[in-house]
Structure 1
Amino acid sequence: MTDPIAPQILIVDDARDIREPLGQYLRKQGFRTALAANAAEARVIVAKAAIHLVVLDIMMPGEDGLSLCRWLVAQGGPPVLLLTAMADETDRIVGLELGADDYLVKPFNPRELLARVRAILRRAPPEIAPPPSGRRTFAGWTHDPDGMKLSGEGGSVDLTSAENRLLGIFLDQPRTVLSRATLLDLTAGREAKVYDRAIDNQISRLRRKIETDAKDPRILVTEWGGGYRLAADVESAR
């Protein structure tokens, strides 16, 4: 019988002959599993269940795996292991740039997939720390972490949970250079990889919301060879 507190793996693949046998194999290895035939089913499961890792096929009818991967990363969701076809090198690269943690080429050996799943889970923390409470101001903005909003002269801006958490980290350490590895560890607890672009994607989204010109950032600046820095003073908001 599977341990009720064992990590739960969501397998998203439109091919039933891959999805179901893989689910059975992972259950025999001590994991709990959930199965989805498409992105719509996967979204429902992620919203309702505690998912620790998503094994995600890229090529699916309707919404493809890259789109779902983008959504999972934007929501600060669980780690993603992509399944790709042999010829889809471009899709693999795009998936990693979107923030996927690893990929495996079809056809694959289930033992290799198991090893990659275990490696990803070892890098993930038991749980992600919530963003800090307390409203703070910086560069003309007021950050409300509980409401996941920014407000300024131009009005208010909604933040995703991942953006909210990332901004809170920068506000905790203003004018300090934070490397990608540090940011990955603080936001999701994942081991940094040279191809992991999740932080870069989140920084780009934050810049579009807080910068006058996201292509010439003055608030959230890049330190070449180092990482990123919040170039503003931070104060508690009344």
Structure 2
Amino acid sequence: MSQPHIAILDDEPEIRRMLSEALTEAGFRTTAYARATEFEAALKRMAPDVCLVDLGLPDRDGLALVHRLALESGAAIIIISGRGQVQDRVTGLELGADDYIIKPFDPAEVVARVRARLRKGRSDPGPAAQTASFNGWTAHFDRYVLVSDAGEEVTFSHAEGEVLRLFLESPKRLISRAQMQEALGGAAGESFDRAMDVRISRLRTKLGEDPKNPRLIKTIYGAGYIFLGDVRWE
């Protein structure tokens, strides 16, 4: 099995060195970039498994880059930033990041978060189960696209896809927050709960749900969520 490839984008040389050393020692293959332009050029030639992205870049808006990666890349995205305000974290997650680590950090934590994202990726069904149909929609997990019966296409991010897949694999069954945390990884707590709220809200919007009375993704207050659709995997 080939080594998972981790792409690092940070304009601080010491951060790049520290992350590269920690991840290489943990058995990963790494490439590091100081500028978004060279990182984006490299993405045309490579397909990393995880992207570690700093938001404070000298040549590109970091959040805009995260959003583009979420829409166009199959890689998991972990933001590493000195911006520690709750709103910064929420915005990053809303734009498609899978996780958010605040500077300063312990390299061991980054390694653990990367491993968690990769474990989740390996637990997904194989290529034969990349398409699911439900209630007038077809989800293409290989292309990160939802297609309606009318042919309308709506893209979803890697992070949103993880939550959608979880629901589609367990339709009409209560999924608690604890079960979501175990399945999707990440540290339990307010930050994880907020991330799930954001992703579920965005999925409801993309599925045309009434936020006050959703038909498919129901909130069971104090217990979790339940997906009420009829699902067929192909």
State the TM-score, normalizing by the size of structure 1.
0.69
Q: Pairwise CA RMSD of aligned residues?
A: 3.8
CA spacing shift, 1:91–1:200, aligned 2, 3 Å: closer
User: 53, 58, 64: which is aligned to 1:56?
Assistant: 53
1:159 — aligned with what?
155
Kindly name which structure, 1 or 2, has the bigger radius of gyration based on alpha carbons: 1
1:101 — aligned with what?
99
Q: Which amino acid aligns with 1:119?
A: A
2:114 — aligned with what?
121
Cα distance in 2 for partners of 1:164, 1:81 equals 18
The answer to whether the Cα contact below 8 Å between 1:12 and 1:36 also exists between their aligned partners in 2 is yes
Cα distance in 2 for partners of 1:76, 1:222 equals 28
Q: Name the SS for the 2:226 alignment partner.
A: strand
The answer to whether the Cα contact below 8 Å between 2:181 and 2:187 also exists between their aligned partners in 1 is yes
CA spacing shift, 1:229–1:73, aligned 2, 3 Å: farther
Q: Which amino acid aligns with 1:77?
A: A
Identity %: 27
CA spacing shift, 1:210–1:48, aligned 2, 3 Å: same
2:78 — aligned with what?
80
State the TM-score, normalizing by the size of structure 2.
0.70
Q: Name the SS for the 1:127 alignment partner.
A: helix
More helix by share: 2
The answer to whether the Cα contact below 8 Å between 1:181 and 1:191 also exists between their aligned partners in 2 is no
After superposition, the C-alpha distances for 1:19-77 in whole angstroms (9 at most, x for unaligned) are 55336634763542212233344345456434344332221234333333344455563
For these two proteins, the number of residue pairs brought into alignment is 221
The answer to whether the Cα contact below 8 Å between 1:19 and 1:35 also exists between their aligned partners in 2 is no
**1:12 CA drift (Å):** 0.9
CA spacing shift, 1:79–1:236, aligned 2, 3 Å: closer
Unaligned 5+ runs, structure 1: none
Cα distance in 2 for partners of 1:206, 1:37 equals 33
